[in-house]
Structure 1
């Protein structure tokens, strides 16, 4: 069984929850005893029933944990039954070529992915850390590559944008020696009235640093949400400039802005279907669908690379607005 290593946001119960979401049979198997067990790969047996000294079976703490896991796993499976997650039409979601990740998976070597960004990477708006996008993505990759050792590190920090992120790029991203970096950036720059061109230049510098480390890279542009749309001109410039950076630096970009606009405009989903009451952050369904679509494209890219298909090195989705 693959061991998913989640640092900083996941505790023992969360690790078991993701295993349950990935495969229902995991409930009858073993689960990590603590967070360090996830890091080292060690596991401890979990029993759902303990026998009291009187000989009467009573439910143990681990048993209650499994019950909770089953409930949360059922909720995770049910989320798309209520509102299906449909791929957008007419919006390219290609994340470009991911040769480093593909090579590591093909060689059965551990893969480290860093999710870098602000509050929508950290998971603000999700009802539980298990439902933020990095953990949703990790569970999906677990299902697709059950024999792989994939570590997903959540390096999201609320309120930040490129100027703050670039200061911790070395210590929190590069030093983790990632095989892939998913960098969500630009939303707070719009909300804080930062110059889009200056932000894009900072992002380009960060992209160059990440590329020099040898990691694959995918940029994530701002979300389409009322708080961002209220600054439509700035948001449009930011989306366009990030696409230019991706094209110029030959890295992938996932068009979150256009994907979410498709949810609202074409699929006629009210904003409260995928955005919290603050008009900015995604809710559980929003994170789940975003992670699903992103994961689908990562898997497709990896499969194509491993099959020897030629993928475009540069992303050209979302022409500058």
Structure 2
């Protein structure tokens, strides 16, 4: 290969390397982000307005971080706006500490009654696992919520429990993860595995909130929220691309 051509190939590789690196946000293995087609989200992007509803427990507000802007829904809004230039992205987060899937269901019904949302992100299972709540009740709420989202013409992505050594040691978290997987499969919803992603990041030393020194805890929580937002944005972007095909 002649030198000019070689220099061109090297320059191209350098230019592409950040893009390739971003394909697995925070070093997450490719197979832990499993996109599904998101037709309602794709249509909203085509219309230049993407309204998103995030529902969950305390983590939707980013407790332990540096502020509301560091919570993953707020960071997700900025990342989606970057992924879809020219689209007005509006991410609204609702939820609070100790809320169960049945409580989330009420929030979803109210929110969708007020305005259509092209995409609903619903995190569930952590509070249920901690309390040992009835899995059947959680499943019923998830199914009813998925039906309501579908009736309203939106897409749904379920987020499973967050990973922690404490939760793994003191709760039957796998039973709730299995129920979320089954609910996603039965309703056609996407499933974003926070549990596996957070576990992979902790094992790799990328993000580990539990083992962070006290003086760095806030920094680590912010990093976790950033990684979750990046991974969710990647899943949504891939889902839109699949819908367009």
Scaled by the length of structure 1, the TM-score of the pair is: 0.63
Q: CA distance change for structure 1 residues 201 and 138 in 2, over 3 Å: closer, same or farther?
A: same
Paired residue for 2:187? 249
Moved more, 251-260 or 207-216: 207-216
> Cα offset for 1:268?
3.8
d(CA) in 1 for partners of 2:231, 2:174: 22
Structure 1 residue runs of 4 or more that deviate by more than 6 Å after TM superposition = 273-277
Aligned-partner SS, 2:27 = coil
Q: In the alignment, what sits opposite 2:197?
A: 259
Partner in structure 2 of residue 6 of structure 1: none
* Aligned-pair CA distance for 1:253: 0.7
Paired residue for 1:187, among 122, 126, 130? 126
Q: For 2:66 and 2:211, how far apart are their aligned partners in 1?
A: 13
Residue matched to 1:305: 243
Query: Any unmatched runs of 5+ in structure 1?
Result: 1-83, 309-321
Asked whether the equivalents of residues 48 and 87 of structure 2 are also in contact (C-alpha less than 8 Å), the reply is yes
The alpha-carbon distance between structure 1 residues 114 and 177, as it changes in their structure 2 partners (threshold 3 A), is: same
CA distance in 2, matches of 1:288, 1:273: 17
Aligned residues: 217
- Other-structure match for 1:202: 141
CA distance in 1, matches of 2:167, 2:206: 17
Determine the structure 1 residue equivalent to 2:74: 135
Q: In the alignment, which residue of structure 2 is the partner of 1:96?
A: 36
**Structure 2: how far apart are the matches of 1:208 and 1:126?**
34
1:48 matched residue in structure 2: none
Aligned equivalent of 2:97: 158
1:218 to 140, 144, 157: 157
Normalising by structure 2, we get a TM-score of: 0.81
1:286/1:192 Cα in 2 relative to 1: closer, same or farther (>3 Å)?
same
Query: C-alpha deviations, 1:194-218, integer Å up to 9, x for none?
Result: 0223212221221112111111000
Pairing of 1:1-321 with structure 2 (within 5 A):
85-88=26-29, 91-106=31-46, 108-232=47-171, 234-265=172-203, 267-269=204-206, 271-272=208-209, 283-306=221-244, 308=245
Contact 2:52 2:90 in 1 (8 A): yes
Distance 1:156 1:101 in 2: 22
Quickly say closer, same or farther: Cα 1:275–1:192, change in 2 above 3 A.
farther
274 and 148 in structure 1: CA distance in 2 versus 1, 3 angstrom threshold: farther
Aligned partners of 1:193, 1:140: CA distance in 2, in Å? 35
Q: How big is the shift at 1:239?
A: 0.5
| Structure index of larger Rg | 1
Q: Which has the higher helix share?
A: 2
Query: 1:162–1:130: structure 2 CA closer, same or farther, 3 Å change rule?
Result: same
Aligned mates of 2:207, 2:116 — CA distance in 1: 40
CA distance in 1, matches of 2:110, 2:213: 32
Matches of 2:102 and 2:212 in 1, distance apart? 26
| Structure 2 unmatched ranges of 5 or more | 1-24
**Structure with larger RCO (C-alpha < 8 A, sep 6+):** 2
Q: Is the 8 A contact 2:198 2:207 kept in 1?
A: no
